[in-house]
Structures are given as C-alpha cells and as structure tokens.
Structure 1
Amino acid sequence: MQTEVTLTGAGGVRYPGVLTVPDEPGATPRPALLMIYEAFGMTDEMKRVARDLAAEGYVVLIPDLFAAAGPKPLCVLRTMRTMLRGEGRALHDLENARRWLVARPEVDAERVGAIGFCMGGSFALLLARTGLYKVSAPFYPQAVDLPRACPVVASFGGRDRTTRGFADKLPARLDELGQPHDVKVYPDAGHSFFTRTDGLMGRLGPHLPLRAEYHEPSARDAHRRILDFFREHLAPTP
C-alpha cells in the first residue's frame, strides 16, 4: 500500500513524502528503508522501486526533499549543495524523516537502512556515516568522504564516466573501515541503469558522458544483490 504522508523538516516546515508498506500481512514490526530519489525528484519510477522493495517485506519512506523549503528550484539547489558539501538542510530533513519512520508502529527502529539513486546515492553514503543505519545501498553515487560507515552494497555503471574513480576507491575505503560491502561495477551499463527515464533525458541520456539509460540485465542483478545484502544486514522477519 502506497500513501502520501506529511513530514516535518528543519525549522518545522511541513512537506510531503510517500510511504509504502507491504500489502501482505506479516510479522511486525518490520525493517524499513529511507529512500532518497534521483535528481528528477518524486517520479512514478521512484514510487515503483519503493513498491518493489515493499513487496519484499520492507517499509519504505521517500521524503520529497524538493518540496521541503520553499519554491522547488530553490529546494533543488539547496539539496544539491548539501550533497556536494556533505552538510546542510537536506541532511537535517532526512534525519527528521528517519525519526518519523522509526516512530511508526509497523517499523522496527533497530533495523533501518538507506537506499538512494544518483543524487540520492550520494545521500545514502552520507547517511552511512551517521551510525544510525544498519545498511546503505547507493546507486552510482558521486565521491563521498567516509570517516566511518555502515555495511554498504553499491552499484555503478561501467560506462558512466562520472563515477569511475570513486567506484574503484570505495571498496578499498570500506576495507580500511572494516565494514562488510558488496560493490559492483556493471561494465555494460551506464548511469541510471536501474530505472527507466522518460522525456528529453531519456532520449539524450545514452549520448551524454553518464551514458544514462535503463539496462535490464544489470538492474535485475543489482536488485537481487541488494535484497541479499538487506536480508543479511537487516534480517527481515519472515
């Protein structure tokens, strides 16, 4: 079941989010995921990904960061700036969203992970530094400084020129931190290979340095990998 909810961000600003819970009855409380969308915002494709994860037994919350602090263009700029700097309003909004999520009666507050795509992938790694998440699943993130981390399952497209250096360095850093990890580069895929992109970006994406387009074999394998990693580190109840 997928519903719109109201969250409270930094400074008490109220803004929307989308909560997805498993349709099938089961043991509660359940493990949960805070999901951070890609730069296109709250799209139907992001909601589809949340439904797919909920079908596996997870409660999924997508906070609409681009609606959290005034006009959308300003929200987008502030969110991007936070991603690049590693500090700022969007991280405070995400922490408030996490607190809202773990207060839900259907959620086990001790079993919460983060997952994100593109811009959201970088945020998922920033959240991995906080000590508040059991697992982080970033898709094609930009370079993020990791003074500490939780277990990480990360996915990159080998044809994406914007993440090549970081895709190589991330496993070594996680080894240094002693954190379990599954970092995979899909050689035939580019940026945004996990989701379908429509419109102008969908047409131009394959020709940009990101080589951004959906790649089904890579997407299916990445989906399997993150679920296996989640089962190990979030241990959902059957």
Structure 2
Amino acid sequence: MASFWEKITVDGQQMDMYAAVPSSSAGFSAPYPAVVVAQHATGVDAFIQDICDRLAADGYAAVAPSLYHRHNEEAIAASAAGGPRPSPATLLSDPDIVADMSAAVDWLLGHDAIQSDRIGVTGFCMGGRVAWLAAATNPNFRAVVPYYGGNLMTTWGSGETPPFDSANSIDCPMLFHFGEIDANPSQDDMRKIDAELDRLGKAHQFFTYAGADHAFMNPSGGRYHEDAAVASWPRTLEFFRQHLKG
C-alpha cells in the first residue's frame, strides 16, 4: 500500500486530498475499484487516513478530500484538539460539499488505474451525511456506506434541499451503520429513513449496534465501541466487494 497527498482544483481553489492505493506486492493490479472517504468533523486526520489505508489494503484506491479547504484548516484542527471547535454546519455549505466530492470523483475518473464504473463512497459522522449527499448528486457512485450520518433532515449553508429529501436521487445500494444510543442519528431517525427508502424502493441494509454511540469507529475518540467497530468493518468490506468487485 502506498499513500500520498494530492492537490486538486475546485472552483478555482486548491483542495488537499489524501490518497492510498493498493500494493502490487499484495497481489493487486490496476485498474482498481475506488472509494471516496468523507471526513468526520475533525478533518482528514489520522482516523480518516487509516480508513483509506485499510481500504487500499483490501484492493481499493481510496481518496479523502479535505472539505475545510475554504477555511483555515490548521486553526480548525487546533481548536478540535484543544476543546470546542466550529460546527461543520457553520463551516460548510451543501453546494460546496457536492463540488468537492465531485472533484474527487473526477480525479479518480481521470486515471487509467481506476475502474470508472466501480466507485463507492463512505463517510463517518458528518461524513455519513456527506456520503449520502454525494450519492444523491453524483451518478458515478455504485455503493454508499454512511456511518452514523446525522443532520440528514437539514440543509447546510446555501443548500436548498435536505439530503433526506434527495433520497429518490440515490441510485446505488446503501449500507447504513447506526449506534443504538446515538442521538443524531437516533433510532427514531433510523426508522424514518428506513421507511422513506422502503417507500422509494431503494436498496438498503441497516445495522444497529447495541450499546454503541455516535463515532463508535474512531479508536482515538471517547465513544469508541470495539464490538461495533469490529462487527461493522467486515460488513462494509463485504458490501463494497459485492458492488464494486463482484
């Protein structure tokens, strides 16, 4: 597995993007299926980079665009490490999120080493919301895996339609992971989302993990839940394997 930072241009500005690619020594050869990883609230940090690395170890080219590039990312990271941080909802706008995620997809599509018809998206915390929004606005995705994505019923910035209301535009299968005691998304939210996807005839699988809270995948966070993390990741890999490698 090899990893590096790339700079891509979005709306005339440069955006940093972390990338990890499979290793030929592990038996993988191009072209690769790919996964776009949407960051959580603290940015493209060690946790998000590790997720990309883990995907690369399983044969995917994985990229994580830095969605805070329109702001002072160092200041955001410092505030996150030391206490209160700006809310992502005050920093990000849905149209900008769509542009950034689409730019990451376009970068993948521009490489011969990528299977252009086998691109998935996943995301954690706010990234789960971003993954849903990306799947609803970009037809290139073949699978979407939100982890505890909250705030689906609200818009951010100059967004006009909440991600939840764009569910009919998602044309790829979804695997959604929920924590049982998470307040956002709550179990009531899960039931509402499930009913809407059923109504629309959208292919989806939901898993709820007993005793798990929000951010249960992040081992450096205070809400890490080992059982949920260990159970959910193989399900994610199997889901991507089915829809991006099958």
Relative to the length of structure 1, the TM-score reads 0.84
* Aligned residue among 114, 124, 140 for 2:148: 140
What is the deviation of 1:28?
2.0
Counterpart CA distance in 2 for 1:90 and 1:126 is: 8
1:1-238 matches, cutoff 5 A: 1-10=2-11, 12-23=12-23, 24-66=26-68, 68-72=69-73, 80-81=89-90, 87-130=94-137, 131-142=139-150, 143=152, 144-145=163-164, 146-149=167-170, 150-164=172-186, 165-198=188-221, 202=222, 213-235=223-245
Counterpart CA distance in 2 for 1:178 and 1:233 is: 18
SS of 1:188 mapped into structure 2: coil
What is the deviation of 1:65?
1.2
What is the deviation of 1:82?
8.0
Counterpart CA distance in 1 for 2:36 and 2:178 is: 20
What is the deviation of 1:221?
1.1
> Which amino acid is the alignment partner of residue 100 of structure 2?
D
> Which amino acid is the alignment partner of residue 153 of structure 1?
L
Comparing 150-159 and 139-148, the one that deviates more: 139-148
- Structure 1 unpaired stretches of 5+: 203-212
Q: What is the total number of aligned residue pairs between the two structures?
A: 219
What is the deviation of 1:25?
4.2
Alpha-carbon spacing, 1:7–1:77, altered in 2? closer, same or farther (3 Å): farther
In structure 2, the residue matched to 1:209 is none
In structure 2, the residue matched to 1:206 is none
Counterpart CA distance in 1 for 2:242 and 2:88 is: 31
In structure 2, the residue matched to 1:208 is none
Contact 1:8 1:97 in 2 (8 A): no
> Which amino acid is the alignment partner of residue 169 of structure 2?
R
Counterpart CA distance in 2 for 1:32 and 1:78 is: 29
What is the deviation of 1:185?
1.1
Relative to the length of structure 2, the TM-score reads 0.82
What is the deviation of 1:173?
2.0
In structure 2, the residue matched to 1:207 is none
What is the deviation of 1:78?
9.5
Counterpart CA distance in 2 for 1:60 and 1:217 is: 25
Identity over aligned pairs, percent:
28
State the superposition RMSD in angstroms.
2.2
SS of 1:147 mapped into structure 2: helix
Runs of 4+ in 1 over 6 A off after TM superposition: none
Counterpart CA distance in 2 for 1:77 and 1:190 is: 21
What is the deviation of 1:168?
1.6
What is the deviation of 1:148?
2.4
What is the deviation of 1:234?
1.0
- Structure 2 unpaired stretches of 5+: 77-84, 153-162
> What do residues 68-111 of structure 1 show as CA deviations (whole Å, max 9, x unaligned)?
2242369x97963586x7x3212111111110112122111111
Counterpart CA distance in 2 for 1:78 and 1:109 is: 34
> Which amino acid is the alignment partner of residue 181 of structure 1?
H
